[in-house]
Structure 1
Amino acid sequence: MLSKKNPVASFAEALAGGAVEVVDLTQPLNERTPMIQLPEPFANTPNVKVREISRYDDRGPAWAWNLLEIGEHAGTHFDAPTHWITGREGLDVSEVPPRHLVAPAVVIDKCPECEADPDYVLTVDDVRAFEAEHGPLPEGGWLLLRTGWDARAHDAEAFLNAGSGSPRSPGFDAECARWIAEESPLVGVGVETVGIDAGAAAGFEPPFPVHYYLLGAGKYGVTQLANLAELPPTGALFVVAPLKISGGTGSPVRALALVPRG
């Protein structure tokens, strides 16, 4: 009897041989990581703080470790449905099915548009045009929006881009957010910006529509991604690993992509 080759073994061979590359999509997380800034009277996530516990000294002669103060929604992070009021009866971050954390991804590149207009928002027509060129969106997959915003992540002022008095950064329009939540086969979206909504989304109807529609539909978001330029429009496997925080509304993550090469 002929036996089928173990697909996991085939993948391991492809990884070892360079036919599959692992691309790190995660921004560094440290005390300089930009954090979203909400206006008064709303409470903000504090910047990451790192305090040394011991470092090969009298406090611990053979080991080093640190104490972290960090918000659930800091740096490259995952938004669970319970993060938003519309999803408050949904899953917390510890309950997200693992199959949604390792899934196919498409990358829609709108860098030229975002360079011309930092308030650029993706529309359903944009997604339809992508599908006409590259095929349908993957069932149970992720849409990653490339805007070039990851190049700003080292500079909080440029990244948050709120010098005009209001944040200006790209994202999705309200109808696109509703369509992804209610009509698409996707389980989530990923962005390079500080949040899954556009900077001007407080003024959309409804306000913050990606949060409102996607999290309300039991779907997810990932923010502050990096290196989407290294991914093809289709064919990559997205891997996102939030901490399994009981009751958590989100978590910092290590986000990766598995990309076929050659």
Structure 2
Amino acid sequence: MPLLPDLLEALATGRIEVVDLTAPLTESTPILRLPEPFANTTPFRLEQLSRYDDAGPGWYWNDIHTGEHTGTHLDAPVHWITGKDGPDVSQVPLGTLVAPAAVLDVSQRVAADPDFLLEVSDVRAWQAEHGALPDGGWLLLRTGWDERAADAERFHNADDTGSHTPGVSTECARWLAERTPLAGLGVETVGTDAGAAAGFDPPFPCHHYFLGAGKCGLTQLRNLARLPATGALLVVAPLPIVGGSGSPARVLALVQR
């Protein structure tokens, strides 16, 4: 029996809701800040070419200036040295870009401790309640951090001791990347790793292990509170930049209501 007409009918009647998980791109979109001597990415900027004027009387358009890893974006395996021989963003399998999602909610624990780290025991407890992680799917870590996204200082949450944002422990990152059937990890923070992850061994373990295993990352997601723990279908649409290490992406979730 044909399935696409059923899907279209479900979308039209609201039985399937499309939830936008993407942060809008503006000049104030928070970006990752690396200390010297490391290079930093370019903030998002529009450069107007014409707007119904002498440069273009009937049309409006812009050049865009931004980095690959600005706003809601996809990390491809080649982004990290452990994945340097892996696919670039144009080569990420389509089955990774349209895939089931599991949502693990730790927002209450993060509210009490912004340096919260997800452990293997937390994932096992989630599995005991909800079942196995989706084969070829995504684990989306809901921390409530998207509530801070409109304020870059609160979003980065940095002080003299460094950045204080939640993430995944080294042991859990390795276990998720190497011992589960996931295709990727999605977070609400500026990067897939915790704010303190530069001091972990290895540094930035989510990047190290996930990208090294040929898997992907998604960052700066929003509206994970609107998703069920299981059953959502994730649709990730990055620009297919040949040779690109990542790309800003529109990320949608299809949820049966």
- Structures share a fold, TM > 0.5? yes
Matched residue, 1:85: 81
Q: 1:118 aligns with which of 88, 108, 114?
A: 114
Question: Secondary structure in 2 aligned to 1:14?
Answer: helix
| Alpha-carbon separation, structure 1, partners of 2:115 and 2:161 | 14
| Alpha-carbon separation, structure 2, partners of 1:54 and 1:108 | 45
Q: 1:129 aligns with which of 120, 125, 130?
A: 125
* Displacement of 1:180: 1.0
What amino acid is aligned across from residue 220 of structure 1 in structure 2?
C
What amino acid is aligned across from residue 99 of structure 2 in structure 1?
A
Matched residue, 2:11: 15
1:51 counterpart = 2:26: no
Q: 1:62 aligns with which of 35, 58, 64?
A: 58
What amino acid is aligned across from residue 93 of structure 2 in structure 1?
P
| Alpha-carbon separation, structure 2, partners of 1:233 and 1:165 | 34
Deviation track 1:109-149 (CA, whole Å, cap 9, x = no partner) reads 00011011000011111000000000111110100000000
* Displacement of 1:8: 1.3
Unmatched 5+ stretches in structure 2:
none
1:172 counterpart = 2:160: no
Matched residue, 1:151: 147
**How large is the Cα RMSD of the aligned pairs?**
0.7
What amino acid is aligned across from residue 128 of structure 1 in structure 2?
R
| Alpha-carbon separation, structure 2, partners of 1:238 and 1:172 | 21
> Moved runs in structure 1, 4+ residues, more than 6 A?
none
Q: How many residues align?
A: 257
Seq. identity, %? 63
| Alpha-carbon separation, structure 1, partners of 2:98 and 2:141 | 18
| Alpha-carbon separation, structure 2, partners of 1:253 and 1:45 | 16
Matched residue, 1:71: 67
What amino acid is aligned across from residue 250 of structure 1 in structure 2?
G
| Alpha-carbon separation, structure 2, partners of 1:157 and 1:256 | 27
Unmatched 5+ stretches in structure 1:
none
Question: Secondary structure in 1 aligned to 2:159?
Answer: coil
Matched residue, 1:230: 226
* Displacement of 1:49: 1.4
| Alpha-carbon separation, structure 2, partners of 1:130 and 1:224 | 22
Matched residue, 1:259: 255
| Alpha-carbon separation, structure 2, partners of 1:9 and 1:122 | 40
Deviation track 1:90-113 (CA, whole Å, cap 9, x = no partner) reads 000000111110000010000011
